[in-house]
Chain A
Amino acid sequence: MSNFRTNQNKSNTNKINVILSAVIVILVLNVALQIWLLYTALNYTLDNDTGVATTAFFGSLLIFFICAGMIYYLPEGEIRKKNNLFSPSLQKKDEKLRQ
């Protein structure tokens, strides 16, 4: 049965590709931010200024959680979904496809 979602997916075939690229761009930006935070924290620590290091650490940790969250939204792609053994509904679909 076709529904809104499948129609959408059929008409925008590039969507997953774009989402994946966007996720990667965001991750790269986040990692760049973290490198900068680490570098700055190190410099201030060696200059005997401890406040910066603590703040930078919490900032860095927050960014890491954001990155981990983004991984959750990584689109799986159709091929992987089809082979998914852990989702009963997808398995049924799969069986139908094989008949």
Chain B
Amino acid sequence: MNKDIKNIKDKNEEETWSQDFPFHKQNATLVGRREFAKMLALVSGGLALGSGLVAAKANFFPKEKVTGEHFVCNKKDIPVGGGRSFIIQGSDIPYLLIHLEDGSFKAYEQKCTHLSCSVYYKKGTGQIVCPCHNGYFNASDGSVMAGPPPRKLPQLQVIVKGDKLFVTAPSIESV
């Protein structure tokens, strides 16, 4: 009786290792449906973990806000319909300051929200364009008009003081 069990055991062990390391190529490429289902559950766990990381990032390490007012340039440096890119001291995010045809100034992050290409203002159209995959943003509020970008462009508030242009963090209403 003991011997019988040992025999079964031996047979079983043999099967176990040959399942993991089959010597016929055909068996090695074969993924059973049970293994596939288990792998799906594993992927599901991975995705839950990823969501957890995103949530942790959102709650505990939020993006730093721009603090204070920063001088960019003089009014006359930017012609109507033109733009100027700038960075704020202490950060390496590129921004774009544009002078719209209606006389107002707007500042946005210059990185496209799709794949971070740099965007520019297309003169006379009221649109900010991303040349990489033809993304279009509304120049007056940064919202997406067409193309693949999933989010609107992050905006800074522009303050005009006499002849000088400053930017600061957006006020709550304008977000």
Contact = CB atoms under 8 A, between A and B. Distances in A.
B54 A74 contact: no
Contact of A53 (B8, B37, B54, B175): B54
Nearest to A43: B150
B58 A60 contact: no
A47 B151 contact: yes
B110 interface: no
Contact of B51 (A34, A67, A70, A71): A34
Interface residues of B, number: 35
Interface stretch (B39-47, B96-104, B132-140): B39-47
Nearest to A27: B40
- Most chain A CB atoms below 10 A, which of B33, B38, B51, B52: B51
Given A48-B62, A83-B15, A63 B37 contact: no
- Most chain A CB atoms below 10 A, which of B38, B57, B58: B58
Given A50-B59, A94-B8, A98-B4, A67 B44 contact: yes
Nearest to A17: B33
Contacts of B27: none
